[in-house]
Amino acid sequence: MGLAVDVVKRSGRRKTEMFDTDKLSHSIHSACLSVRTPEGQAESAASHVTGLVTLWITQKPAVTSNDLRRQVAYHLHRYHPDAAYYYLHQRSIL
């Protein structure tokens, strides 16, 4: 589901895109699985963190992808510190 919040991409080369809760949840879930989190725990963490970040983002007209990544890592750290680290540094690791 897309919200009326623009996400400004980090490089600025691509156009902004609408915030998509499904896309965010999938990326959090994938980060959890990448650090060998059990499926159920990955789904739970993705659901909780997506909800928290959605509450944060609905108060803003636009956010950068870096701000979004930092917010996800901040909230994900409560559920899975390794997944939070991976999510925050995923681009530099790969």
Range of the domain at 23: 2-93
Q: What is the mean pLDDT of residues 15-26?
A: 88
Dist. CA 82–CA 37, nearest whole Å: 9
Position 94 scores a pLDDT of: 47
Supply the pLDDT for residue 61.
Answer: 84
Number of structural domains the chain divides into = 1
The amino acid at residue 85 is Y
- pTM for the model: 0.85
- The rounded mean pLDDT for the chain is 87
pLDDT, tens digit (0-9, with 9 covering 90-100), for 61-94: 888 888 999 999 999 999 999 999 999 998 765 4
